Homo-oligomer: A and B are copies of this chain.
Amino acid sequence: MKSITLTPAGRRPLPRSRRTGAPLDVELARLAKALGHPARVAIVRLLLGKKECVCGDIVDRLPLAQATVSQHLKVLKDAGWIQGSIDGPRVCYCARPETGRKFLELAQALAAREEEGETS
């Protein structure tokens, strides 16, 4: 049997549909990436614990400049971790529980592979 031996750039068939990346992998990666910074974890935790929080209070609790915190808030908002609503001159942020739930779901589904064929 000849070794087609993958030419430098030539790949093999590529089994199933890992070609585009499984949607669930992409989704979990997206949420994980957004959470992948200590400041953002702190923000999410803060919001989950308080139900709501004015932006300024978040800034006060982080050792970061206002612009930087705002940037982190944007990342979390874009990923669906939090949402903000205008409240007079301020912005009131709160966590989106369904995102936390989905994140946990996906993470558990990932870890559940570990049990495959071992315990029922």
Give A8's nearest chain B residue, CB to CB: B66
In the complex, the count of this chain's copies comes to 2
Is A80 close to B, CB under 8 A?
no
The DSSP consensus for interface residues of chain A is helix
A45 pairs with B110, CB closer than 8 A: yes
Checking B42, B110, B115, B116 against A25 with a beta-carbon cut-off of 8 angstroms, the contacting residue is B42
A43-89 CB contacts (< 8 Å) to partner B: 44-45, 48-49, 56, 60-63, 65-66
A-B residue pairs in contact (CB < 8 Å), sample of 16: A14-B61, A22-B38, A25-B45, A26-B38, A26-B41, A28-B35, A29-B38, A29-B41, A30-B36, A32-B33, A35-B36, A48-B114, A49-B113, A97-B114, A103-B107, A104-B107
